[in-house]
Amino acid sequence: MTGVEQAAQAEQRVQPVDERVGSLVAGRYLVERLIGRGGMATVYEAADQQLPRRVALKIFKPELADGDDMRRHEAEVALLASLNHPGLVTLYDASTTEDGGAVLILELVQGDDLRQTMDDRPLPGEEVAVIGAAVADALSYSHDRGIVHRDVKPGNILVPAHDGTDTAPRAKLADFGIARLVDETRVTATGAVLGTAHYLSPEQAVGGEVGAASDMYSLGLVLLEALTGERTFPGTGVESAAARLARDPFLPPDMSPEWNGLIRALTAREPGDRPTAREAAERLRSIASIPAFRPVDESLDATRVLPALATAATEVMNADEPTAAMSRPGAGDATRAPDRAAGIPSDRRSRIDARIEVLKTRPIAVAVTILAAIALVLVGYGASTAIASLVFADAPPAEPAYPAVEGVLGEHLEQLQRSVAP
């Protein structure tokens, strides 16, 4: 068996098998392959036998919708078929199958839906903004005509394949107005839900009135999931629906302020606090070039060690030189004195040397001079004490405290102290 034959067999095994493949629907559309199955309908790719085009057939389950429903909602079908916007999957026609089931003939979009795209990876902020703006534009167009989608979710947002050079829309919103064509009473009786639990608005979760603001809440959850790669309200349908009634969506702390503000506004619990689709589209286009999350500079360490700065009192020694032992200071230490005096000017150094010589040759005169200076200080101190005793007669005179001095000088100081004592 050749490699080509093996590949063909592998493709046949992967391709889903359906009894409608190869059959003619509504006498006009030849079913070629199964695209996917949902809770309400099955979607096929088919070839139009009257016009040279390929279409998508959405065939509803008989218990949810039949040919009578299509005829009863003929006005709604005509309204949906009249919608013409690049961000919407075009509805060509509505018909019935041979067994009486309801079928919609839709534009065929080549590419994946947003669910398949997000399963691979979180999307860059620019790509999310471009896709979100296209969806918001489509919602704005339909809201202006009184049509609410009610089931905005990744699986209903188609991302057409493109090569980067074409001008085709980056996203198309599918299944618009299905709620207008399906009997809601019968849907509830069969346990189906018009709207996916993970993307329901709070008013949808409690069965309240649903308007255009409900679509905006769902779009906010879709954008947040596309940015983070995580579903905002996980869990079972009941858990997910109840969670949004108890808390707001969690936004990553590193999300940029522009994206944070938009997602917060779209997912406000009160419908009146949410922006319109037109406002959301404008904001998404304005932040398309802004990163969704603040970049982290991985080249920076968490803690940087700064180098120590050398001061004037610090001398960097050569590591190769041995450490010299310091000599003990003494009278014969002739090596350090020149170092200390190296910075003194020569004239000042000569005056200092002269004064030192006087101290050596005339010790008695120097001692007498010192004693005279001390005596003047003591006499001045005694006089101030006497004056203070006159001013503050009631206070006992304080005993002056003199420093202790030993030797002959100390004896002279004691005599002076007694002579000035009151």
| Annotated binding-site residue numbers for ATP | 58
By C-alpha distance, which of 97, 109, 260, 252 is closest to 170? 109
Catalytic site residue 151?
A: yes
Query: Could you tell me which residues come within 8 angstroms of residue 308 by beta carbon, excluding any fewer than 6 positions away?
Result: none
Q: Mark the binding-site residues, compressed into ranges.
A: 58
Contact present, 141 and 205 (Cβ < 8 Å): no
145: left (phi over 0), alpha (psi -120 to 50) or beta: alpha
From 66, 113, 151, 215, active-site residue: 151
Q: Which amino acid is at 121?
A: R
Pairwise CA distance, residues 143 & 362, whole Å: 114
Query: Could you tell me which residues come within 8 angstroms of residue 117 by beta carbon, excluding any fewer than 6 positions away?
Result: 123, 154, 159
Give strand pairing partners of 106.
56, 91
By C-alpha distance, which of 12, 105, 10 is closest to 57? 105
DSSP-H helix ranges across 231-297 = 237-246, 257-266, 277-286
Q: How far apart are the first and last CA of the chain?
A: 134
Torsions phi, psi for 296 (to 5 deg): -110, 125
Specify the pairing of strand 157-160 against strand 111-113: antiparallel
Q: Which amino acid is at 346?
A: S
Alpha-carbon torsion angle 65, 68, 72, 77, nearest 10: 60
Catalytic residues: 151
